[in-house]
Amino acid sequence: MVILFAISACVSCVIMAVFLSTFEATALAIPGGRFCVSSNPKVKYFHVLWIPMLAFETFLCTLAIIRGTQMRRSLGPFSFYKSSQRLAHVLFRDSIIYFIAIGATYLTSLLVWTFGAEALQETPLGFAIAFPCVIANRLVLNIRSTARAQDQAVHVDCNTTQGFNLSGSSGEAVTGPLVFSAKSYLSTGAAISTHPV
């Protein structure tokens, strides 16, 4: 994967160097001032810059889909009660969202550079540079919050000899493991106190 990233980055750098070495700009009169545009016909093919980046993102999404499918087959459907599956589910879900968002951004840039008017070609450029950083930070923050929620969760085995005060409960027995955060309530609204009775 690192090798493919290096290849993608090198191809993008070579494309950028080739096109920028022959770049010539002219001032285009627009209402309220002037705007610089390229007067070199070779820049028309500058859209190929987006192809290596889009190909690498597609490769990463394919790896995420393969891994998510393998995990689903081996562990069964994703369950939010198993902490490792919850983290894997967040990683899988956000990787797909990341690819859709970044793929749409790069594809839009590719299409604008290919078919758009010359004056509009640089319109998506700033967005295409900033958006991957924002989406990647969102991915990292979601993984962090999921991992933090796992650390703060309290796991209680109902077979323990420690008694629980289930105030407001209808007296029904609780079976199976309970997983709750610092302050939790049963479905009936009864507060759970972990102080021994």
- Give yes or no for residue 81 having a pLDDT over 80: no
Indicate if 148 and 52 belong to the same structural domain: yes
Does residue 37 lie within any of the structural domains?
Answer: no
Mean pLDDT of 26-54: 78
Instruction: Please report the pLDDT score of residue 62 as a whole number.
Output: 92
| 192 and 113 fall within a common domain | no
Mean pLDDT along residues 9-30: 84
Q: Are residues 145 and 68 in the same domain?
A: yes
CA distance 51 to 11: 10
Q: How many other CB atoms sit within 10 Å of the CB of residue 185?
A: 11
User: Do both 124 and 189 map to the same domain?
Assistant: no
* pLDDT(139) > 80: yes
Q: Name which of 12-21, 112-121, 151-160 the model is least confident about.
A: 151-160
Overall number of domains in the chain: 2
| Same domain (yes/no): 140, 114 | yes
171 lies in some domain: yes
Give me the pLDDT at residue 30, please. 82
Q: What is the pLDDT of residues 49-59, one digit of tens each?
A: 888 988 998 99
CA angle 114, 23, 12 (to 5 degrees): 60
Residue finishing a domain among 136, 152, 168: 152
Question: Please, what is the average pLDDT of the chain?
Answer: 74
138 shares a domain with 61: yes
Same domain, 105 and 182: no
* Average pLDDT estimate for 106-112: 88
Q: What is the mean pLDDT of residues 138-153?
A: 79
Q: What is the pLDDT of residues 168-189, one digit of tens each?
A: 455 555 555 555 544 444 444 4
Q: Is residue 80 part of a domain?
A: yes
In this structure, is residue 28 part of a structural domain? Answer: no
Give the Cα separation of 174 and 160 in Å (integer): 12
84/113 same-domain check: yes
Residue 42 inside a domain? The answer is: no
- Has residue 102 been placed in a domain? yes
Is residue 107 located within the same domain as residue 175? no
SS (H, E, C) 38-102: ECCHHHHHHHHHHHHHHHHHHHHHHHHHHHHHHHHHHHCCCCCCCHHHHHHHHHHHHHHHHHHHH
Give the pLDDT band (50/70/90) at residue 196.
very low
- Are 68 and 124 part of one and the same domain? yes
Worst-scoring range by mean pLDDT, 71-75, 89-93, 141-145, 151-155?
151-155
Is residue 43 one of the residues assigned to a domain?
A: no
Residue 129 domain-assigned? yes
| pLDDT given for residue 183 in this prediction | 45
Q: Give percent of the chain with pLDDT exceeding 90.
A: 11
Residue 191: the pLDDT is 47
Q: How high is the pLDDT of residue 84?
A: 62
In a shared domain, residues 131 and 178: no
pLDDT at 161: 44
Parent domain of 189 = 154-197
Predicted local distance difference test score (pLDDT) of residue 126: 84
pLDDT at res. 79: 54
pTM above 0.75, yes or no: no
Regarding whether 131 and 66 lie in a shared domain, the answer is yes
